[in-house]
């Protein structure tokens, strides 16, 4: 189902020069269906994933997008291209700060398999993202920093405009947890595939404008 956005209040409630960044989680892949950590594995969208992207594109068609950004993996690029085509934008821009967390040894594993592989690291991942490190992979605090920097970069380039940025569920969660100060298990908020989260950015300051829809917490 196409998401319905409340478009009217944006210019009324936001300071002049605010950039509205609609952060989109990419559509479904086979590893999503299997609830396996994708990380940097370059898996493509499946048939449902393309429909997720179409639904996101239609939801964004009325906001007047001026640009579309995406992480470098196929599933984010394909989602972003559909959004750009729907909004009749000639191209999209790759931004590596939007790339997924490097899950290291956990890539391809399910949650229970990751827990069995390193219970202590998994406990930090699920309950304390500021301290978590993926085995042989990335610190979540580093991933969070590059996501925030990516949002600030987009906001600085597109003052007063609306922009889409396609990334991954964990990157959305890390940005939201940073803005809300949530550090415990509640940081893993639902982020549905193809869902939209709005961040409002003005003079480098980021506000959370809209939480994502969905019940997917893999």
Question: Can you name the residues that pair with 200 across neighbouring β-strands?
Answer: 20, 207
* Cα separations in angstroms, 39 against 11, 91, 167: 36, 25, 11
CA–CA distance, 31 with 63 (Å, rounded to integer): 31
Q: Report whether pLDDT(2) > 50.
A: no
Q: What is the pLDDT averaged over residues 124-148? A: 97
Place 14 in a pLDDT band, splitting at 50, 70 and 90: confident
Residues 6+ apart with CB under 8 A from 63: 5, 7, 10, 20, 22, 162
Alpha carbon distance 22, 135 (integer Å): 31
- Mean pLDDT, the chain, integer: 92
Q: Are 65 and 53 in contact (CB under 8 A)?
A: no
Residue 129 predicted with pLDDT over 80 = yes
**Cα distances (Å, whole numbers) of residue 213 to 3, 87, 109, 137:** 9, 22, 25, 28
Per-residue model confidence (pLDDT) at position 215: 55
Q: Which of 29-43, 71-85, 120-134, 203-217 has the lowest mean pLDDT?
A: 203-217
**pLDDT for 167-207, tens place per residue?**
999 999 999 999 999 999 999 999 999 999 999 999 999 99
What's the CATH fold of domain 15-210? Answer: Rossmann fold (3.40.50)
H/E segment holding residue 34:
none
Map out the domains of the chain as residue ranges: 15-210
Question: What pLDDT, on the 0 to 100 scale, is given for residue 216?
Answer: 54
pTM, full prediction: 0.92
């Amino acid at each position: 189902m196409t998401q319905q956005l409340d478009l009217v209040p944006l210019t009324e409630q936001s300071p002049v020069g605010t950039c509205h960044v609609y952060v989109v989680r990419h559509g479904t892949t086979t590893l999503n269906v299997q609830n396996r950590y994708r990380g940097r594995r370059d898996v493509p969208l499946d048939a449902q994933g393309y429909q997720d992207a179409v639904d996101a594109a239609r939801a964004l068609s009325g906001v007047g997008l001026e640009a579309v950004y995406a992480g470098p993996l196929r599933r984010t690029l394909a989602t972003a291209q559909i959004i750009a085509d729907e909004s009749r934008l000639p191209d999209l821009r790759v931004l590596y700060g939007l790339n997924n967390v490097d899950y290291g040894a956990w890539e391809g594993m399910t949650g229970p398999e990751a827990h069995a592989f390193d219970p202590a690291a998994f406990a930090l991942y699920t309950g304390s993202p500021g301290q978590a490190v993926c085995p042989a992979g990335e610190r979540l605090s580093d991933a969070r920093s590059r996501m925030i920097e990516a949002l600030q970069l987009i906001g600085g380039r597109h003052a007063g405009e609306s922009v889409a940025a396609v990334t991954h569920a964990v990157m959305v969660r890390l940005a939201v947890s940073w803005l809300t100060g949530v550090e415990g298990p509640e940081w893993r908020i639902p982020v549905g595939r193809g869902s939209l989260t709005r961040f409002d950015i003005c003079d480098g300051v980021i506000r959370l404008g809209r939480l994502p829809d969905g019940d997917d917490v893999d």
